[in-house]
Amino acid sequence: MDINQLLTKSLTAYDSQRDRSKQIEIGPSSIGGCRRQVYHKLIGTPVTNPNTEGLAAILGTFIHAGIAQAITREDPFKDNFLIETEVAYGNLKGHVDLFIKDIGLVVDWKTTTKKNLRNFPSDQQRMQVQVYGYLLSMNGYEVKNVSLAAIPRDGTMGDIVSHVEPYDIDIAQAGLDWLEELKLIVEEKLFAPDPEKSVNFCASYCDFYDPTGEVGCPSTSK
């Protein structure tokens, strides 16, 4: 038996059945990222680069699930924490990792590596968690602060880094505007946004990488 093949097949099949994997609408996790990639999602471009393994993302899923299970014991009466909760407002839907009601805190777990901690938090990550705050606020919750917690897969407990900032509706609105501008490009059949990532990144991580540029994205290094 080929153990590598068994593991790869099992992880991919499991991940493909998750709600987040099956979600077609663009959620907060894509806002502020590569505009060209989200454009292709919006227009329904077929996958042109099926060899993206996405192992880090799948491992991140298991880490999120483990955290969700472990953290429930910190809310013994199950009335203060919202854990892995879907929230929606208008045409936008997202899954909030954690919201602590009594202190009005939104928490978004981010799995990463120790090397990438130097880029934490990114502007995109800050925008995403603010959008989660917006969705919760629009659903009647009092949001005071938002937090990002970076968990390095190759680190120790002491390497975990957290960032907290006040909830800022202006940052959330910038994220919503970012998405609406892309939707307008699609609706008006305007030119696709320019590529934003190099071939080294796109070939390994983007489903829409296409060196010919005929269907997908050729990257910035065509």
In a domain, 140, yes or no: yes
Q: Over pLDDT 70: what percentage of the chain?
A: 91
Residue given tokens 């990438």 in the structure block: 116
Q: Indicate which CATH number applies to the domain containing 103.
A: 3.90.320
What is the predicted pLDDT for the residue at 24?
53
DSSP category for residue 215: S
What is the predicted pLDDT for the residue at 68?
94
Using a 10 angstrom Cβ sphere, with 0-12 exposed, 13-18 middle and 19 or more buried, the burial of residue 91 is exposed
Q: In what order do the strands lie in the sheet with 161-166?
A: 81-89, 92-100, 105-112, 145-152, 161-166
Question: What's the length of the chain?
Answer: 222
In a domain, 215, yes or no: no
What is the predicted pLDDT for the residue at 9?
73
In a domain, 60, yes or no: yes
Higher pLDDT, 29 or 128: 128
Cite the DSSP H helix spans in 72-222.
123-138, 169-187, 199-205
Is residue 217's pLDDT more than 70?
Answer: yes
What's the structural domain count of the chain?
1
The average confidence (pLDDT) of the chain is 90
- Per-residue DSSP letters for 34-80? -HHHHHHHHHTPPPS-TT---HHHHHHHHHHHHHHHHHGGGSTTSSS
Q: What are phi and psi of 137, to 5 degrees?
A: -60, -40
In a domain, 218, yes or no: no
In a domain, 119, yes or no: yes
Residue 22 belongs to domain spanning:
3-205
Query: What number is the average pLDDT over the span 30-50?
Result: 92
Residue given tokens 């990792």 in the structure block: 97
Is residue 53's pLDDT more than 70?
Answer: no
Query: What number is the average pLDDT over the span 39-58?
Result: 83
What is the predicted pLDDT for the residue at 21?
44
